[in-house]
């Protein structure tokens, strides 16, 4: 019962935050609201008994990515007045509204066939989950099944993930890391002329 | 950067707690929620908080850039090295059973080392990302 109440409160906050993000024009406020959005999603993951995912969402979504966005905002110059004129509206607001309503109702219709949350005969529970739950403790002696699957059963998968993170760091270093070269004051031809 | 007494005192109080929590998530990941990835991110969050409050130059004195690059590669090497070690011992790649005296001990050691590799790489990679973005504004 308490789960339902917390779910409703969190989802209401999520909807409010996303509407506020859409209507906000101040980039700083938008970044902050994105952080709040991630924190609310982390709360939802806790309610759904997935603390591992909640940890990641809170630390990466609400923490690191907000800081990275702020660091980027500090680099981007923000003029007081927009330097462009608002484009004249080429279409009425009805068309997007209808598209959104049709897509949304199709998605809601799709959820009718999905088994209930935590239902034992859901396809995700009947395939390999049963094997992991029954065998992870005798096989690895690790009570946290998530860790057992992540590091032992699917260790090769996780090695790939770590390599992806390493590659991302290398790519960022190559793109924007290190010192920027100072613009050359004279071209090589001019220097050659000076020396001559 | 103008020094702010409240920020400095609170940050000095909170940063050790964040690092302690990161170590708990890292080494207790077998039993509680969490693991290498989460621990690495929390660990780097402590250093990011430090550099936000005390300035980038001070933070770079604690962890120089070339250290971060070595650490990011070291994590991947630890992870892949555990796999090669199990190959040398005569089992499949990343099959930890032969690392210890029995299956449970081997799996335990393997998972601990692998998660350590994940944590080191993630923490170093996050800090590299942060310093790369934040360092651009100084020039």
Distance from CA of A105 to the nearest CA of B (A): 36
Contact assignment for A166 to B125 by CB distance below 8 Å: yes
Q: Is the pLDDT of residue B1 over 60?
A: no
What mean pLDDT is predicted for residues B41-69? Answer: 90
Contact assignment for A141 to B110 by CB distance below 8 Å: no
Does the pTM surpass 0.90? The reply is: no
Full residue range of the structural domain in which residue B127 is found = 5-135
Distance set, CA A88 to CA A23, A80, A91, A93 (Å): 18, 21, 9, 13
Q: What is the pLDDT of residues B20-38, one digit of tens each?
A: 999 999 988 888 887 889 9
Q: Is the CB of residue B133 less than 8 Å from the CB of residue B126?
A: no
Nearest CB to A162: which of B93, B110, B118? Answer: B118
Number of structural domains, chain B?
A: 1
Contact assignment for A166 to B94 by CB distance below 8 Å: no
Distance between CA atoms of B49 and A193, rounded to whole angstroms?
A: 52
- Give CA B72 to chain center in angstroms: 9
B55: left (phi over 0), alpha (psi -120 to 50) or beta: left
Q: Is the CB of residue A14 less than 8 Å from the CB of residue A34?
A: no
Which residues on A lie below 8 Å from B67 (Cβ)? none
Six-digit token string for A79: 């003029």
Contact assignment for A156 to B137 by CB distance below 8 Å: no
Listed as own residue / partner, the contacts of B7-10 with beta carbons closer than 8 Å and 24 or more positions apart are B7/B53, B8/B53, B8/B54
Q: What is the pLDDT of residues A25-84, one digit of tens each?
A: 888 899 999 999 999 999 999 998 888 889 889 999 898 999 989 888 888 766 666 666
Q: What is the ipTM of this complex?
A: 0.90
Cβ contacts of A22 within 8 Å, gap of 6 or more: none
Count of beta carbons in the 10 Å neighbourhood of residue A62: 19
- The domain locations on chain A are 1-77, 119-181
């Amino acid at each position: 019962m308490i789960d339902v109440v917390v779910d409703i409160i969190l989802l209401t906050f999520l909807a409010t935050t996303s509407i506020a993000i859409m209507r906000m024009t101040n980039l700083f406020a938008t970044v902050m609201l994105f952080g709040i959005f991630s924190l609310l999603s982390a709360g939802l993951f806790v309610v759904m008994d997935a603390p591992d995912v909640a940890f990641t969402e809170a630390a990466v979504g609400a923490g690191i990515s907000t800081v990275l966005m702020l660091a980027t905002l500090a680099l981007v110059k923000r003029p007081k007045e927009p330097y462009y004129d608002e484009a004249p509206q080429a279409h009425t607001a009805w068309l997007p509204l209808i598209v959104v309503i049709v897509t949304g109702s199709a998605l809601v219709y799709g959820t009718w066939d999905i088994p209930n949350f935590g239902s034992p005969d859901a396809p995700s529970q009947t395939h390999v989950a049963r094997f992991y739950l029954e065998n992870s403790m005798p096989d690895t002696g690790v009570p946290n099944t998530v860790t057992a699957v992540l590091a032992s059963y699917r260790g090769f998968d996780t090695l790939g993930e770590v390599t992806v993170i390493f590659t991302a760091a290398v790519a960022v270093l190559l793109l924007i890391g290190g010192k920027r070269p100072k613009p050359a004051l004279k071209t090589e031809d001019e220097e050659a002329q000076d020396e001559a | 950067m103008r020094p702010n007494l409240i920020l400095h005192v609170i940050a000095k109080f909170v940063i050790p707690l964040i690092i302690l929590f990161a170590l708990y998530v890292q080494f207790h990941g077998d039993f509680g929620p969490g693991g290498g990835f989460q621990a690495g991110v929390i660990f780097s969050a402590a250093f990011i908080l430090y550099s936000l409050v005390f300035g980038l130059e001070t933070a770079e004195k604690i962890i120089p850039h070339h250290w971060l690059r070595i650490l990011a590669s070291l994590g991947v090497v630890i992870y892949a090295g555990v796999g090669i070690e199990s190959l040398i011992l005569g089992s499949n790649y990343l099959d930890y059973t032969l690392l210890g005296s029995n299956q449970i001990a081997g799996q335990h050691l393997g998972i601990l080392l692998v998660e350590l590799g994940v944590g080191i790489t993630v923490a170093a990679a996050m800090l590299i990302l942060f310093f790369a973005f934040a360092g651009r504004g100084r020039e």
